[in-house]
Amino acid sequence: MSLFASVLPILCWLAYNYAVPFVERRYPSLSSIMSLQRRRWVSNIASRESPLDAILSGNLMQSVSLLASTSVLIVLAIFASFGQITPLMQTLAGLGLGRDYTAAAMQFHLLALLSIFVASFFAFTLSLRQFNHFCIMVGAISHTRQLSEVEIDSIAMLNSLGAKNFNNGIRAYYFAVPSVAWFASDSLSIAVTIMTLGIIVHREFFSSAHRIAASVTVIGHRKDSETTKA
Protein backbone atom coordinates (compact mmCIF):
# COMPACT_ATOMS: atom_id res chain seq x y z
CA MET A 1 0.00 0.00 0.00
CA SER A 2 2.83 2.41 0.87
CA LEU A 3 4.59 1.68 -2.43
CA PHE A 4 1.38 2.11 -4.41
CA ALA A 5 0.58 5.40 -2.66
CA SER A 6 4.08 6.68 -3.46
CA VAL A 7 3.96 5.96 -7.20
CA LEU A 8 0.25 6.65 -7.84
CA PRO A 9 0.69 10.46 -8.26
CA ILE A 10 3.43 9.87 -10.86
CA LEU A 11 1.33 7.28 -12.69
CA CYS A 12 -1.70 9.59 -12.76
CA TRP A 13 0.44 12.49 -13.97
CA LEU A 14 1.90 10.41 -16.82
CA ALA A 15 -1.48 8.89 -17.68
CA TYR A 16 -3.08 12.33 -17.87
CA ASN A 17 -0.37 13.67 -20.19
CA TYR A 18 -0.74 10.61 -22.41
CA ALA A 19 -4.56 10.47 -22.49
CA VAL A 20 -5.42 14.15 -22.98
CA PRO A 21 -4.26 14.38 -26.64
CA PHE A 22 -6.64 11.53 -27.51
CA VAL A 23 -9.53 13.20 -25.68
CA GLU A 24 -8.80 16.52 -27.42
CA ARG A 25 -9.54 14.90 -30.78
CA ARG A 26 -13.21 14.66 -29.77
CA TYR A 27 -13.54 17.42 -27.18
CA PRO A 28 -11.27 20.49 -27.11
CA SER A 29 -9.47 21.24 -23.87
CA LEU A 30 -8.78 24.68 -22.48
CA SER A 31 -5.18 24.38 -23.65
CA SER A 32 -6.18 23.55 -27.23
CA ILE A 33 -8.61 26.47 -27.27
CA MET A 34 -5.89 28.81 -26.05
CA SER A 35 -3.62 27.50 -28.81
CA LEU A 36 -6.10 28.98 -31.30
CA GLN A 37 -5.83 32.30 -29.50
CA ARG A 38 -2.05 32.07 -29.63
CA ARG A 39 -2.34 31.75 -33.39
CA ARG A 40 -4.51 34.88 -33.50
CA TRP A 41 -1.88 36.62 -31.40
CA VAL A 42 0.87 35.75 -33.87
CA SER A 43 -1.37 36.73 -36.79
CA ASN A 44 -1.90 40.20 -35.26
CA ILE A 45 1.77 40.77 -34.42
CA ALA A 46 2.70 41.61 -38.01
CA SER A 47 0.06 44.34 -38.21
CA ARG A 48 1.31 46.42 -35.28
CA GLU A 49 4.56 47.98 -34.16
CA SER A 50 4.38 48.35 -30.40
CA PRO A 51 6.16 47.01 -27.28
CA LEU A 52 3.01 45.10 -26.31
CA ASP A 53 4.14 41.76 -27.71
CA ALA A 54 7.57 42.05 -26.10
CA ILE A 55 5.91 42.79 -22.74
CA LEU A 56 3.56 39.81 -23.06
CA SER A 57 6.40 37.47 -24.03
CA GLY A 58 8.53 38.76 -21.16
CA ASN A 59 5.74 38.09 -18.68
CA LEU A 60 5.42 34.51 -19.92
CA MET A 61 9.15 33.88 -19.56
CA GLN A 62 9.29 35.49 -16.12
CA SER A 63 6.60 33.15 -14.76
CA VAL A 64 8.33 30.08 -16.17
CA SER A 65 11.73 31.18 -14.87
CA LEU A 66 10.35 31.69 -11.36
CA LEU A 67 8.86 28.19 -11.19
CA ALA A 68 12.01 26.62 -12.69
CA SER A 69 14.11 28.27 -9.95
CA THR A 70 11.64 27.09 -7.30
CA SER A 71 11.90 23.52 -8.62
CA VAL A 72 15.68 23.63 -8.23
CA LEU A 73 15.37 24.75 -4.60
CA ILE A 74 12.88 21.97 -3.85
CA VAL A 75 15.13 19.37 -5.50
CA LEU A 76 18.06 20.53 -3.34
CA ALA A 77 15.88 20.37 -0.23
CA ILE A 78 14.82 16.79 -1.01
CA PHE A 79 18.44 15.80 -1.64
CA ALA A 80 19.32 17.20 1.77
CA SER A 81 16.50 15.13 3.31
CA PHE A 82 18.19 11.89 2.22
CA GLY A 83 20.96 12.63 4.69
CA GLN A 84 18.49 13.30 7.49
CA ILE A 85 16.17 10.30 7.25
CA THR A 86 16.27 9.44 10.96
CA PRO A 87 15.65 13.00 12.25
CA LEU A 88 12.91 13.38 9.64
CA MET A 89 11.19 10.19 10.83
CA GLN A 90 11.44 11.38 14.43
CA THR A 91 9.96 14.76 13.52
CA LEU A 92 7.04 13.16 11.67
CA ALA A 93 6.44 10.75 14.54
CA GLY A 94 6.33 13.74 16.91
CA LEU A 95 3.49 15.30 14.94
CA GLY A 96 1.10 12.67 16.28
CA LEU A 97 -0.09 11.47 12.86
CA GLY A 98 -0.34 7.93 14.17
CA ARG A 99 1.76 6.36 11.44
CA ASP A 100 4.86 4.19 11.59
CA TYR A 101 7.60 5.00 9.09
CA THR A 102 10.37 2.71 7.89
CA ALA A 103 13.64 4.05 6.52
CA ALA A 104 13.19 2.12 3.26
CA ALA A 105 9.68 3.46 2.68
CA MET A 106 10.82 6.99 3.51
CA GLN A 107 13.74 6.79 1.09
CA PHE A 108 11.58 5.40 -1.70
CA HIS A 109 8.96 8.10 -1.22
CA LEU A 110 11.55 10.86 -1.18
CA LEU A 111 12.91 9.39 -4.40
CA ALA A 112 9.43 9.50 -5.95
CA LEU A 113 8.96 13.07 -4.77
CA LEU A 114 12.38 13.97 -6.14
CA SER A 115 11.52 12.54 -9.55
CA ILE A 116 8.39 14.71 -9.72
CA PHE A 117 10.29 17.94 -9.15
CA VAL A 118 13.22 16.94 -11.37
CA ALA A 119 10.72 16.32 -14.18
CA SER A 120 9.04 19.66 -13.45
CA PHE A 121 12.42 21.40 -13.64
CA PHE A 122 13.12 19.93 -17.07
CA ALA A 123 9.61 20.81 -18.23
CA PHE A 124 9.98 24.43 -17.11
CA THR A 125 13.45 24.87 -18.60
CA LEU A 126 12.29 23.38 -21.92
CA SER A 127 9.30 25.73 -21.83
CA LEU A 128 11.60 28.66 -21.11
CA ARG A 129 13.81 27.75 -24.05
CA GLN A 130 10.82 27.46 -26.38
CA PHE A 131 9.41 30.80 -25.27
CA ASN A 132 12.87 32.28 -25.82
CA HIS A 133 12.85 30.93 -29.39
CA PHE A 134 9.36 32.35 -29.80
CA CYS A 135 10.60 35.80 -28.77
CA ILE A 136 13.42 35.59 -31.33
CA MET A 137 11.01 34.60 -34.08
CA VAL A 138 8.65 37.43 -33.13
CA GLY A 139 11.56 39.86 -33.27
CA ALA A 140 12.44 38.57 -36.72
CA ILE A 141 8.99 39.34 -38.12
CA SER A 142 9.08 41.98 -40.83
CA HIS A 143 6.30 44.57 -40.78
CA THR A 144 6.89 45.42 -44.43
CA ARG A 145 5.11 42.31 -45.71
CA GLN A 146 2.25 40.07 -44.71
CA LEU A 147 3.09 36.86 -42.88
CA SER A 148 2.30 33.64 -44.71
CA GLU A 149 -0.01 31.07 -43.14
CA VAL A 150 2.92 28.66 -42.77
CA GLU A 151 4.95 31.27 -40.83
CA ILE A 152 2.00 32.08 -38.58
CA ASP A 153 1.34 28.39 -37.87
CA SER A 154 5.01 27.67 -37.13
CA ILE A 155 5.51 30.58 -34.73
CA ALA A 156 2.19 29.91 -32.99
CA MET A 157 3.06 26.22 -32.66
CA LEU A 158 6.33 27.13 -30.94
CA ASN A 159 4.38 29.28 -28.49
CA SER A 160 1.94 26.42 -27.90
CA LEU A 161 4.79 23.97 -27.26
CA GLY A 162 6.18 26.32 -24.62
CA ALA A 163 2.74 26.53 -23.00
CA LYS A 164 2.35 22.73 -23.15
CA ASN A 165 5.60 22.14 -21.27
CA PHE A 166 4.76 24.91 -18.82
CA ASN A 167 1.42 23.24 -18.05
CA ASN A 168 3.21 19.91 -17.68
CA GLY A 169 5.49 21.45 -15.05
CA ILE A 170 2.53 23.01 -13.27
CA ARG A 171 0.76 19.65 -13.11
CA ALA A 172 3.86 18.20 -11.46
CA TYR A 173 3.31 20.67 -8.63
CA TYR A 174 -0.34 19.62 -8.43
CA PHE A 175 0.54 15.94 -8.09
CA ALA A 176 3.21 16.74 -5.53
CA VAL A 177 0.36 17.64 -3.15
CA PRO A 178 -0.83 14.01 -2.71
CA SER A 179 2.82 13.00 -2.34
CA VAL A 180 3.02 15.32 0.66
CA ALA A 181 -0.24 13.81 1.99
CA TRP A 182 1.56 10.43 2.02
CA PHE A 183 3.41 11.50 5.17
CA ALA A 184 0.05 11.53 6.97
CA SER A 185 -1.55 8.42 5.50
CA ASP A 186 -1.37 6.11 2.50
CA SER A 187 -5.15 6.23 2.11
CA LEU A 188 -5.13 10.01 2.31
CA SER A 189 -2.47 10.18 -0.39
CA ILE A 190 -4.54 7.98 -2.72
CA ALA A 191 -7.69 10.01 -2.04
CA VAL A 192 -5.92 13.32 -2.66
CA THR A 193 -4.40 11.92 -5.88
CA ILE A 194 -7.85 11.03 -7.23
CA MET A 195 -9.23 14.38 -6.11
CA THR A 196 -6.32 16.24 -7.74
CA LEU A 197 -6.87 14.36 -11.01
CA GLY A 198 -10.56 15.24 -10.91
CA ILE A 199 -9.80 18.93 -10.29
CA ILE A 200 -7.35 19.07 -13.21
CA VAL A 201 -9.79 17.35 -15.58
CA HIS A 202 -12.58 19.71 -14.50
CA ARG A 203 -10.41 22.79 -15.02
CA GLU A 204 -9.25 21.62 -18.44
CA PHE A 205 -12.59 20.48 -19.88
CA PHE A 206 -15.57 21.63 -17.80
CA SER A 207 -14.61 24.86 -16.02
CA SER A 208 -16.04 28.35 -16.48
CA ALA A 209 -12.71 29.41 -17.98
CA HIS A 210 -13.13 26.70 -20.64
CA ARG A 211 -16.61 27.94 -21.57
CA ILE A 212 -15.53 31.57 -21.68
CA ALA A 213 -12.42 30.86 -23.74
CA ALA A 214 -14.43 28.74 -26.17
CA SER A 215 -17.03 31.49 -26.60
CA VAL A 216 -14.40 34.18 -27.16
CA THR A 217 -12.55 31.98 -29.65
CA VAL A 218 -15.71 31.32 -31.67
CA ILE A 219 -16.61 35.03 -31.70
CA GLY A 220 -13.06 35.99 -32.69
CA HIS A 221 -13.03 33.44 -35.49
CA ARG A 222 -16.30 34.81 -36.86
CA LYS A 223 -14.99 38.38 -36.73
CA ASP A 224 -11.77 37.37 -38.48
CA SER A 225 -13.75 35.57 -41.18
CA GLU A 226 -15.99 38.59 -41.74
CA THR A 227 -12.94 40.86 -41.97
CA THR A 228 -11.26 38.55 -44.48
CA LYS A 229 -14.39 38.40 -46.66
CA ALA A 230 -14.75 42.17 -46.53
HEC string for 83-103: CCHHHHHHHHHHCCCCCCCCH
Decide: 197 and 30 in contact? Cβ < 8 Å.
no
- Rounded Cα–Cα distance for residues 113 and 64 (Å): 20
The total domain count for the chain is: 1
Check residues 16 and 139 and name the one with the higher pLDDT: 16
Decide: 66 and 163 in contact? Cβ < 8 Å.
no
Can you point out the beta strands (E) in 39-89? none
Q: Please give the pLDDT value at position 58.
A: 81
- pLDDT score of 227 more than 70: no
Q: Please give the pLDDT value at position 100.
A: 75
Residue 79, classified by CB atoms within 10 Å of its CB into exposed (0-12), middle (13-18) or buried (19+), is: exposed
Q: Please give the pLDDT value at position 224.
A: 60
Q: How far is CA 112 from CA 4, 6, 13, 79, 182, in A?
A: 11, 7, 12, 12, 11
Q: Please give the pLDDT value at position 119.
A: 93
- Rounded Cα–Cα distance for residues 175 and 146 (Å): 44
Average pLDDT, integer, range 32-39: 88
Host domain of residue 222: 2-229
pLDDT above 90 as % of the chain? 33
